[in-house]
Chain A
Amino acid sequence: MTTTMTSYDPAVDAPKHHHPVYDYDSGPPVDRGKFAIWVFLGTEIMFFTGMIGTYIVLRAGSPEWPNPAHRLAVGITAFNTFVLICSSATVVAGLFAVQKDDMAALRKWWGLSILLGAGFVGIQAYEYVHLIDHGMTPNQDLFWSTFYLMTALHGLHVIIGVLWLAVAYVKILRGGYSSKNWVGLELAGLYWHFVDLVWVLLFTLIYLM
């Protein structure tokens, strides 16, 4: 005698395990998170290219352009560039530490990275306050418009990066990473290095050229 199923109730009839388990990896031979962050960074490259492109077009089309050294405190920002490069180096040192299961070193390097990142934001805020105090607001001329456009959007990236590093730090303190599981830290690091890389270009274009 055969039984006929009259209605399908997923709560009763669905298999317990929804994820099929294969004896091979069905995905591409690359970590999904890493692939995703690189695709995202690809869009970020195009985003900053659009902004830098706009700056170059406006600058080249202007009859004259002020020497940035006469308007901006290059020394302070050069120091700030040092700070950001140091924070990139400490992130890498943290990543190497977690790969060796050296959690004390990881906490030290990662904490230092957050402090350096926050320091960068602080120095930039200090610069902004002084510039605005002297009447250098975005509506003054094209130099200041493009200056604030690019540095503020990059600064926003730095703030997001610091928050990301901080969230990862909380997970580090809770023992969420080990030499077997550190991709989350690598993703935060990739974003952070990208922000550093963009700053290297912006610093040259805005402050030195």
Chain B
Amino acid sequence: MSEHPPQFSVKKLWILLLVLTAAEVIYGEIGNRNFYEQKLLLWGGLLTFAFIKGYYIFQYFMHMKYEGAIVKGNVWFTIPLVVYMMIMIWPDTASNDKLNYEIANQLDPFTGKVSTIIEGSRNMVNKEFQHMYDDYAATHPGAEVHGTGGH
């Protein structure tokens, strides 16, 4: 039980949230029609609306604003954790176009050498290896070759 029960105007907050939701939907509607390709403007605006609404629900409806240090400390900690997760994972995984750096050192099963894949996206990697499977299949008639396709 809170030491100081939170007191704020539910009605005001309720109206504010409804107005923000309406504004967000209208912004999205206008954005989808007029500047759908300008993702930063469209998505940035929409996410700003969502985060403002989320902030008010979190701080007032869930009365985090009125909690003591123990609850605040435990819960706020998850926010930087989420941000950390995003920063660490998303840039690497969220776009095939960005996979044009060294992916891994891989053992070439045919030559026995370790090769480093540095080129292109995942599909490019498959193409990179394709010739090895093709070469092997050509020199070993009847062998079962598990390549990336075409056999």
Contact = CB atoms under 8 A, between A and B. Distances in A.
Contacts, number: 121
Interface in A12-67: 28-31, 34-35, 38-39, 41-42, 45-46, 49, 53, 56-57, 60-61, 67
Interface stretch (A135-143, A145-153, A159-167, A195-203): A195-203
Interface stretch (B49-57, B110-118, B140-148): B49-57
A46 B81 contact: yes
Interface stretch (A2-10, A83-91, A119-127, A168-176): A83-91
Contacts of A182: 1
A29 B68 contact: yes
Contacts of B18: 82, 85-86
Contact of A209 (B13, B14, B43, B89): B43
A46 B38 CA distance: 30
Interface in A71-94: 74, 78, 81-82, 85-86, 88-89, 91-93
Interface string B31-68: 01000100000110011011001100110111000001
21 contacts: A29-B70, A38-B74, A45-B78, A53-B85, A67-B36, A74-B28, A78-B25, A81-B21, A85-B18, A89-B10, A89-B11, A89-B17, A92-B10, A93-B10, A182-B1, A183-B1, A190-B62, A193-B62, A196-B57, A200-B21, A204-B24
Interface of B: 1, 5, 7, 10-11, 13-14, 17-18, 21-22, 24-25, 28-29, 32, 36, 42-43, 46-47, 49-50, 53-54, 57-58, 60-62, 68, 70-71, 74-75, 77-78, 81-82, 85-86, 89-90, 93-96
